[in-house]
Amino acid sequence: MSIPNPEIKSSVLQKRTTIILLALGLASLSLACGMLFNAPVAFRQRPLFPGQDQPTGISNGERIYFTGVDSQGRRIRYSGGPPYGGMMMGAYLACVDCHGPDGRGGLHTMHMQVMEAPDIRFAALLGEAEEHAGEEHENNHGDYTLEEFRLAVVEGKHPDGEPLSTDMPRWQIGDQDLADLFEFLKSLP
Ligand code: HEC
């Protein structure tokens, strides 16, 4: 039986300490990474444009269209929308994501699914309403008012009360913000 020589023993000990230190280092590194990746979540919960210091030159309606953030600086909540596009899944959608930067809508792919969003420039909405006017819908006179817009955006209904496809989220948006958004759509060429 050989008694391990103390020098060898201490080198084994040294190796062990190195391994333990390495493990500790890795653990704290992954902790730091976790904190880094979680940071945007904390950031998202803060108002994006608190108070008055909103970017200048952009109307409230336009800003909402592109960011989904209301005049209080909060994300506008919505329910429904396409699978994986729900707020419960951590997604935040804005009108622009589906109806496009020019409001003309179109076909696009969202999470491997093809979806078609309509043109929602005011002229298109008016045209749509006119098409249905005079048919069986008596209370639709070929006009497209803020109330019809509210029905679509908030309640997810066509002017005749028929539900819109569930691809269109239902938005919990305030009256003034809704009116501003409507004005923005009217301003689109
Ligand atoms: C996830 C995609 C998506 C987002 C985001 C979205 N929409 Fe839609 N929207 C749709 C789809 C799809 C339809 C068509 C529904 C149908 O015809 O049944 C629609 C329909 C509409 C309509 C009715 C159009 C018509 O011809 O009657 C309006 C108005 C509208 N959206 C406004 C908005 C506004 C304003 C926002 C932002 C607050 C918004 N949408 C965000 C997908 C979306």
Q: What is the pLDDT of residues 154-182, one digit of tens each?
A: 999 998 899 999 999 999 999 999 999 99
pLDDT at 165: 94
The ranges of the chain with pLDDT < 50 are 29, 31, 33-47, 50-52
Same domain, residue pair 154 and 96 = yes
Q: The domain containing residue 22 runs over which residues?
A: 8-45
**In this structure, are residues 118 and 105 in contact, taking their beta carbons and an 8 Å threshold?**
yes
Whether 158 is in a domain gets the answer yes
Q: Is residue 136 part of a domain?
A: yes
- Determine the pLDDT at residue 9: 58
Distance 99 CA to ligand 1 centre (A): 7
Atom number, ligand 1, closest to the C-alpha of residue 82: 1
Question: Are 22 and 104 in a shared domain?
Answer: no
At residue 164, the pLDDT reads 96
Q: What is the pLDDT of residue 95?
A: 97
pLDDT at position 134: 56
Residue 166 falls within a domain, yes or no? yes
Please tell me whether residues 86 and 148 are part of one structural domain: yes
Number of the ligand 1 atom closest to the C-alpha atom of 93: 5
The residue to mutate among 65, 120, 128, 185, having the most atoms of ligand 1 within 8 angstroms of its beta carbon, is 120
Helices (H), the chain: 6-44, 60-67, 95-99, 122-132, 146-153, 175-187
What is d(CA 86, CA 80) in angstroms, rounded to the nearest whole number?
A: 6
**Total structural domains within the chain:** 2
Q: Which two tokens stand for residue 122?
A: 């005011």
Beta bridge partners of 137: 133
Q: Do residues 23 and 116 both lie within one domain?
A: no
d(CA 165, CA 158): 10
Q: Are residues 172 and 127 in the same domain?
A: yes
List alpha helices for 45-111, DSSP H: 60-67, 95-99
Q: How many CB atoms lie within 10 A of CB 94?
A: 17
pTM (predicted TM-score): 0.73
* Domain presence at residue 83: yes
